[in-house]
Structure 1
Amino acid sequence: MRNMMPKTFTLLAGSALLVAGTAAHAERSDWPDNFTVGTASQGGTYFVYGSGWANFIADELGVSGGGEVTGGPTQNLALVHGGDVAFGLTTMGPAADAVSGKSPLAPGLEMDNVCAMFPMYETPFSITALESSGISSISEIPDGARIGFGPAASTSDTYFPEILETLGVEFDRRNGGWTDLGGQLQDGLLDVIAFAAGIPIPAVSQLEVQTDVNIIEFTEEEQQTVIENFPVAEFSIPASTYETLEEDARAVSMWNFAIAGCDLPEDFVYEVTKVTMENNDSMRSVHRSAATTIPENIKYNKVLPFHPGAARWYEENGYDIDPDLIK
């Protein structure tokens, strides 16, 4: 059949497509060519979550990106602030220290180029020992026990030593990546590992396959003491998290948020936030802790200013943010 569409209409349609294509290109003109997400050590939840999220964003937005091994939340704040990475993952405790100039990596420097994007999950503080050690409670940890606290300056290393000291534990402090520490525990080079990481912790799941472990819970009194002295909340590790657990285990936790350099283009951060918040099924396939990576949980950030791009998505979708908490 002969095409009866007028030439003028065809020309106008072609012009409209050209303009639309040009506009779309213009909106990305100031986007970075690639991006990096600061995570933590291999074997921990940050590395799995951050690397998987980076790949997801790269695929969805067509921008090259990936995760990078770092020392964890405290270092990620410094890397994002300095522009060494575009995005990072952090917990609220180290974030509060960073913006108030109390970061152990940069004492006196108020990190004002770090903005919140979206909530991730709660980080439980949990303790693991070999069953053969006979350690089944915090009070049974012997004086001088060799305890692995994760990478230096990580959330675990920043808070867990003080938590255990408050509970009367005397120990020999060790640092390292979670996978390495798991191997040391299995080889008898460590007595206990004090984890602060999203659950399930890959290193613990691996230990369960290879040996018998005790996942040590806090008593009610210990839990309350810690809550009164540290920026943490009550938490319960579901029994379904690990094969070892027969019932939920009492613990404490701290919220995690994804962060961005405040100077990143607003449209870029808007699209990153949009893709993340509107595809929770995909995020849960990255790591099941992303079940709480939902916009309702933005209320748990009372420390960092939200990036204007992220704030725009929340406001467009009916989630209120205090104007004073937007960069």
Structure 2
Amino acid sequence: MKFKTLAIALCAGLVAGAANVEPLNLTLSGGNPGGLWSLLGAGMDRAVKASDPNSVITYQATGGGFANIGLLGANRTDLGMVHDAEVKLALTGQPPFPAPIKNMMAIGYMYNWAPMHFFLNKSIAEEYKIDSIDDIASSKAPLSIGINRSGNITGNVALFMLAEAGLDEATLSANGGSFVRAGANEQGELMKDGRIDMATNGIFIGHSSFRAIDENVDVVLLKIPESVIEATNKEFGTSAYTIPAKSYTNQAEDVDTMALGAMVVATDKMSDETAYTLSKAFVDHIDEIRGVHKAMAQLTPELMVSQTVLPFHPGAERAFKEAGLLK
């Protein structure tokens, strides 16, 4: 009888403990108010609410991944959206970070399919016989090349890839060209007006800024040497990717490149229980996140655990192990 009473008490305690799990109340630092990361924030909020209607994830617009890592490093936000390449720089204290940031822990990968594109005006490509980024330096073409603004990791990646292909700023300047800092949509306008000859960025295939370039300017998508792709992946922790043939008007063949990914990151200050509840909600209600944009249709629980640049938070790891996603 005593054993039976004890068992009932233990069960009651477990049920009460489960019922008393605190609702989540977290801030997610993202990027632009109307960008994909803000949509992902809304999807994550819906996912945690599907598990507990009283839970909330509040989206905070910021300058992007670099800014979010700074906030995480200072423990001034609960969660941050960051690119894998940005994390790689932060862990080793490379610019723009003055020192290594070591307190970050992964919650889950959101996507890894934002490939680097290099669009060149077709008439210039034909005149100087350029079909790959490693042709640019030797061609002596005086190109104006769009590079994303400082603080955006795709600008760092583009400059690294071009330098690996032999085109650093000194070489470009000697050829009579220059780098022009401009955001994704700005580069489309600059190409349309003939103020730049080449656009570079790492965004989803068919992103609106790329569609604008493809529809309004006669451009070709340049090839990238395998050695450049390998060096970039080693430097930034990114992955190889192929842009399928016919993705753009003048693209007859597949183009191999590399792709950036983005993940949700917490800090070691987050409790295991909070990280567990958060990650479990993401897995159990992944459709809430997938549904924010057609570009997110590829998101799976398996993809969520596929990042390799950061250790998972112990709470997240527990949730993923329970779901059979990690051993």
Per the normalisation by structure 1, the TM-score is 0.75
Structure 2 residue aligned with 1:27? 21
State how many pairs are aligned: 290
Q: Kindly provide the CA deviation profile for residues 150-201 of structure 1, in whole angstroms up to 9, marking residues without a partner as x.
A: 1313221222212101212243233232112222222222221221233333
2 CA distance for matches of 1:162 and 1:190?
19
RMSD of aligned residue pairs (Cα, Å): 3.1
Correspondence 1:254-273 to 2 at 5 A: 254-273=260-279
Mark the CA change 1:41 to 1:253 in structure 2 (over 3 Å): closer, same or farther.
farther
Q: Which runs of 5+ in 1 are unaligned?
A: 1-15, 322-327
Match of residue 191, structure 2, among 180, 185, 188 = 185
**Structure 1 residue 67, shift from structure 2 partner:** 5.2
In the alignment, structure 1 residue 66 sits paired with structure 2 residue 59: yes
Contact 1:223 1:234 survives alignment (8 Å): no
Q: Percent identity?
A: 21
In the alignment, structure 1 residue 121 sits paired with structure 2 residue 115: no
Determine helix, strand or coil for the equivalent of 1:286: coil
Aligned AA (1:204): F
Structure 2 residue aligned with 1:198? 204
1 CA distance for matches of 2:161 and 2:76?
31
In the alignment, structure 1 residue 86 sits paired with structure 2 residue 69: no
2 CA distance for matches of 1:195 and 1:41?
20
Aligned AA (2:116): F
Aligned AA (1:164): L
**Structure 1 residue 314, shift from structure 2 partner:** 0.4
Q: Which runs of 5+ in 2 are unaligned?
A: 1-11, 50-54, 173-177
1 CA distance for matches of 2:216 and 2:244?
21
2 CA distance for matches of 1:272 and 1:177?
33
Contact 1:223 1:252 survives alignment (8 Å): no
1 CA distance for matches of 2:252 and 2:33?
29
Mark the CA change 1:299 to 1:312 in structure 2 (over 3 Å): closer, same or farther.
closer
Structure 2 residue aligned with 1:223? 226
Mark the CA change 1:248 to 1:279 in structure 2 (over 3 Å): closer, same or farther.
farther
Structure 2 residue aligned with 1:310? 316
In the alignment, structure 1 residue 249 sits paired with structure 2 residue 243: no
Contact 1:120 1:292 survives alignment (8 Å): no
Aligned AA (1:83): N
Mark the CA change 1:200 to 1:282 in structure 2 (over 3 Å): closer, same or farther.
farther
In the alignment, structure 1 residue 104 sits paired with structure 2 residue 104: no
Structure 1 residue aligned with 2:292? 286
In the alignment, structure 1 residue 167 sits paired with structure 2 residue 165: yes
Mark the CA change 1:248 to 1:35 in structure 2 (over 3 Å): closer, same or farther.
same
Mark the CA change 1:239 to 1:269 in structure 2 (over 3 Å): closer, same or farther.
farther
2 CA distance for matches of 1:82 and 1:243?
46
1 CA distance for matches of 2:143 and 2:151?
20
**Structure 1 residue 315, shift from structure 2 partner:** 1.0
Determine helix, strand or coil for the equivalent of 1:260: strand
Correspondence 1:42-57 to 2 at 5 A: 47-48=35-36, 50-57=37-44
Q: Kindly provide the CA deviation profile for residues 63-106 of structure 1, in whole angstroms up to 9, marking residues without a partner as x.
A: 15225242x33333222222343322333332122123x23133
Structure 2 residue aligned with 1:4? none
**Structure 1 residue 127, shift from structure 2 partner:** 0.7
Contact 1:152 1:175 survives alignment (8 Å): yes
Determine helix, strand or coil for the equivalent of 2:82: strand
Mark the CA change 1:41 to 1:203 in structure 2 (over 3 Å): closer, same or farther.
farther
Contact 2:229 2:240 survives alignment (8 Å): no
